Structures are given as C-alpha cells and as structure tokens.
Chains A and B, each alone.
Chain A
Amino acid sequence: AQSVTQLDSHVSVSEGTPVLLRCNYSSSYSPSLFWYVQHPNKGLQLLLKYTSAATLVKGINGFEAEFKKSETSFHLTKPSAHMSDAAEYFCVVSDRTGNTPLVFGKGTRLSVIA
C-alpha cells in the first residue's frame, strides 16, 4: 500500500523568501514521486517527478525536490517565492510502472505575501 503525508496544510511566506513544502511517503515498492500544482480554477500541472535517476530533481518555475529514501521524504523547495507561486501543491506517489493509481496527499496551500 502507498500513502502520502503532507505535513503542512497551509504555508505562508513573504515574496522573495525561500519556500519549503514537506512531504513524507510510504510505499511497498520503489516509488515514483511527483509534485503537482493547482492554481484556482485550473487543472493540475506537473511541477516535477522522481522516478529512479538523480535524487535531486529540478522542475519548472525554479522548484526542486530531493528524494531521501532513509527519511522517506520528498520535500519541495524554491529559493525565492514569487506572487504567482500562490496555489495548492500536491505530493503524489505511485509505483514505477505507472499502472497503479496515483495516491495524492491532502495538499498544502501556499500563500505568498507581498
């Protein structure tokens, strides 16, 4: 069985400061891990994904995440927040085949203060 825990339901940062969104996972198999972003009234957009290559994954819009097997974590970071980053972020786990369902966390709402 697979599960995802997003440790914060809401994170608020000032524009220009670093962003950290935390995610822990549980998986019986070697996982694939994803971060998706959802802007209001928009579809889910893939930010980045980890499959089995480099543990530090770079995504779009300056985001990156590091896969840490020993900590079962896949935290999302960005050095400097922009107002346009305000959105809902979902950490997602699946197995490597892509044939099992994506399992979503409950989401973290990121607010960016001017």
Chain B
Amino acid sequence: EAGVAQSPRYKIIEKRQSVAFWCNPISGHATLYWYQQILGQGPKLLIQFQNNGVVDDSQLPKDRFSAERLKGVDSTLKIQPAKLEDSAVYLCASRGQREETQYFGPGTRLLVL
C-alpha cells in the first residue's frame, strides 16, 4: 500500500513570497490533516478535512494560510505572503474511517529567508 505522498520535499523562499504544498493521502482515506512542525517542537495541527469539507481550522492563520481539498482526495496548503516564522516542516497525514491511527507523509521542509 502506498503511503502519504508530499511535494516538494524542500522549499526555500524569501519573505513575502507565496508557496504551495501538495499532499496525496493513502487511497480511500477520508480524513486528511496538515500539521506544522517548528524546529524543536512537536507537530501542531493546522487544519483537518473530512472528504472535501473542513472539520477543524481553528489553528490555521487564515490571514496568510489557506488549504483546499476540492475533490476529497489530494490537498494543497498555501502560504501567502510568507513570514520568517513560517519556516518549519509541513506534514500531511491521513486516516481511514473507523481507524484511530494517522499515517504521515515525509513532510515539506520550508525555509523562509
């Protein structure tokens, strides 16, 4: 079974630029999550989707971050404009129905200069 795919793996941008990350969850997984992991900390949830609907985006900085999952499969996370403090690893995870385990992708490492 293929795991959660993410791209790009690395991205370097300057502050005030925009950037987008892509995630393809495990086939059949209805629930998709985006996490932000700042260096030296545990991942923090940004947004949770159930199919193509948002379940929880309470921790998403909506003035600059946006995410969508239009067809209920893959998802994109966008930052516009980026700030220095957005430097982090952005992790995507998915979960099947009636399952508690979340499966994580390799992450996208973002550096904002």
Chain A residues near B (Cβ < 8 Å): 4, 32, 34, 36, 41-46, 49, 51, 90, 92, 94, 96, 98-99, 101-102, 104-107
Q: How far is the CA of A32 from the CA of B107 in the complex (A)?
A: 24
Q: In the complex the two chains form, is B95's CB within 8 Å of A44's CB?
A: no
Which residue numbers of B lie inside 8 Å of A, CB to CB? 3-4, 33, 40-45, 48, 55-56, 91, 93, 95, 99-107, 109
Is there an interface contact between B43 and A51, defined as CB atoms closer than 8 Å? no
- Distance (Å) between the CB of A60 and the closest chain B CB? 13
- Residues of the A chain whose Cβ atoms lie less than 8 Å from the Cβ of B33: 101
CB distance from A45 to the nearest CB of B (A): 8
User: A92 to B102, alpha carbons, bound, how many Å?
Assistant: 11
- In the complex formed, the residue of B with least CB distance to A99 is B55
> Given that A49-B100, A98-B99, A99-B55 are contacting pairs, would A44 and B91 also be in contact in the complex, using a CB cutoff of 8 Å?
yes
